[in-house]
Amino acid sequence: MAENYYRMCQQHIGKCVVITEYNGRRHYGRITRVDNKHVYLQPLGNRGFGYGWGWGWG
């Protein structure tokens, strides 16, 4: 199963994502890189007004 997550994250490098842990904790950010044990996210921070995320994440 870990191989599937690795491939999915590799395919989404550079995209904004929400990653949900088994305990329900969520991480929001842009995937900057992936290795066999970690996914590295750049925090999105406060973007103020304007366009934001749409529905369909997850």
pLDDT in tens, 14-24: 999 999 999 99
**Is 10 contained in some domain?**
yes
**Is 54 contained in some domain?**
no
Kindly report the average pLDDT of the chain as a whole number: 82
State the pLDDT at residue 55.
46
Query: Are the C-beta atoms of residues 36 and 18 closer than 8 Å to each other?
Result: no
**Is 28 contained in some domain?**
yes
**Is 53 contained in some domain?**
no
Burial 21-41 (b: 16+ CB within 10 A, else e): eeeeeeeebebeebeeeebeb
Domain tally, the chain: 1
Residue 57: closest CA among 27, 23, 33, 22:
27
Is the model more confident about 51 or about 33?
Answer: 33
Domain residue limits at 37: 2-42
**Is 55 contained in some domain?**
no
**Is 58 contained in some domain?**
no
Query: Are the C-beta atoms of residues 5 and 20 closer than 8 Å to each other?
Result: no
**Is 51 contained in some domain?**
no
Could you give the CA distance from residue 15 to residue 1 in angstroms, rounded to a whole number?
22
**Is 57 contained in some domain?**
no
Q: What confidence category does residue 44 fall into, taking pLDDT thresholds of 50, 70 and 90?
A: confident
